[in-house]
Structure 1
Amino acid sequence: MAAAHVWLARIDGLDEARFAEYRQWLSPGERERTFVREGRRRQFIAARALLRIAIGALLHVPARSVELGGAPGRAPWLAAPAVPMPGLSVSHSGPWVACALSADTALGLDIEMKDAARDIAALAEHAFDAATCARLAALPDGARIEAFYVEWSAQEARVKLGVAAEGCYALAHEELSVVVCSAVPLARPALLEVVDL
């Protein structure tokens, strides 16, 4: 059975000096990426820094020495050090960034800020099949909101995984839905660690 670890960090308190430092960790290709919105650029830099920190901790190497490959719209991959790491996935929502790691299986991760003010019934009609919409509608309000976001994140995590999911695991967090899907079953739900960048 496989194991997975999810790292989560809030970035709205990071100062410009820290972002500048993390930008230096990026490869030339990562630095060349352009973003229309400044907030999205900051999420990208912070998510790549978090991924490097997590990989560095797992492999006992300096985070800044971790090299990632990637292309826009695709999951990053570990370019160096040269060790098998089939499961890398990143996600962001609002002031949060997250990454999931596994040495055993491919992963898809999604996080989403829970917002009770959104019209989740209308969103569900566009995103889910009739059976899922009916199941959500039958739930009490508080449970419906939680279930909607878990379903939404699971759907996104499956897309990021890119292969049939053998398991999707919702991890408890007060502000976010956090779901990681894996290509092979996990021995236990992924560990969720909230860290400071």
Structure 2
Amino acid sequence: MLKRLSDGVWLVSTEHPPGTRREEARLRIRDRVRAVLADELGLSVEAISVVSQPGQAPLLLIRGLSQPGLSISHELGFSLAAINLHGPVGVDLMRMQAGTDWQPVARDYLGPEVTARLLATPEYQRPWAFALAWCKQEARLKCHGHRLVEWALAPTMAAPVIELDLPYPYVGAIATP
């Protein structure tokens, strides 16, 4: 899937067959990002690089552009990348699952207000609501260059976040400054 969200902002995804190892999924989405950008920008694939260092967000290098943003998220069977030619971007993806023990995670990472909203959500909608709240928080953190921390330690972030229209059972969000 390729979706242009606004001028210079794209969402790129790849589906992976069962049994795809994480390393292969990482390579596939990076290759897809390079191919899409080459086509969209009229450049050769060689003019675009995705540089990865363990424990750090991937860095997008495009000949002739300074500081484009790239954010990537993976789930079983699906990878998602957000590109912003004008600056930072954050994206997160989650495979919705019913019956997960979401409350301790929400309390620790999303905080009491979000946890209370989730508890007030009808039970049949909670897996989706939890996944969306999680993805929004992760997307904001990634957009601002922060790693996941418990809610009390998380910085205040003003990046607007948009829910993504993804195939079931995936939920996702993108944040841009």
Identity %: 23
Cα distance in 2, alignment partners of residues 111 and 122 from structure 1? 20
Structure 2 match to 1:166: 159
Contact 2:93 2:172 in 1 (8 A): yes
**Runs (5+) with no aligned partner, structure 1:** 15-37, 184-197
Structure 2 match to 1:61: 43
Note the alpha carbon deviations across 1:68-114, whole angstroms, 9 max, x for none: 23322222223342323522111111111111112223101111111
Cα distance in 2, alignment partners of residues 72 and 168 from structure 1? 26
Cα distance in 2, alignment partners of residues 56 and 3 from structure 1? 13
TM norm structure 1: 0.71
Q: Aligned pairs, how many? A: 160
Contact 2:13 2:29 in 1 (8 A): no
Relative contact order: is structure 1 or structure 2 higher (C-alpha 8 Å, sep ≥ 6)?
A: 1
Cα distance in 2, alignment partners of residues 180 and 97 from structure 1? 14
Query: Would you say 1:180 and 2:144 are equivalent positions?
Result: no
Distance 1:7 1:88, change over 3 A: same
Query: Would you say 1:11 and 2:16 are equivalent positions?
Result: yes
- Of residues 95, 100, 110 in structure 1, which corresponds to 2:77? 95
Distance 1:175 1:53, change over 3 A: farther
Structure 1 match to 2:54: 72
Cα distance in 1, alignment partners of residues 51 and 104 from structure 2? 38
Distance 1:87 1:143, change over 3 A: same
**Runs (5+) with no aligned partner, structure 2:** 1-5, 146-156
Cα distance in 1, alignment partners of residues 158 and 79 from structure 2? 22
1:104 aligned counterpart, secondary structure: coil
Report the aligned-residue RMSD.
2.3
CA shift for structure 1 position 166: 2.4
Distance 1:65 1:104, change over 3 A: closer
Amino acid at match of 1:5: W
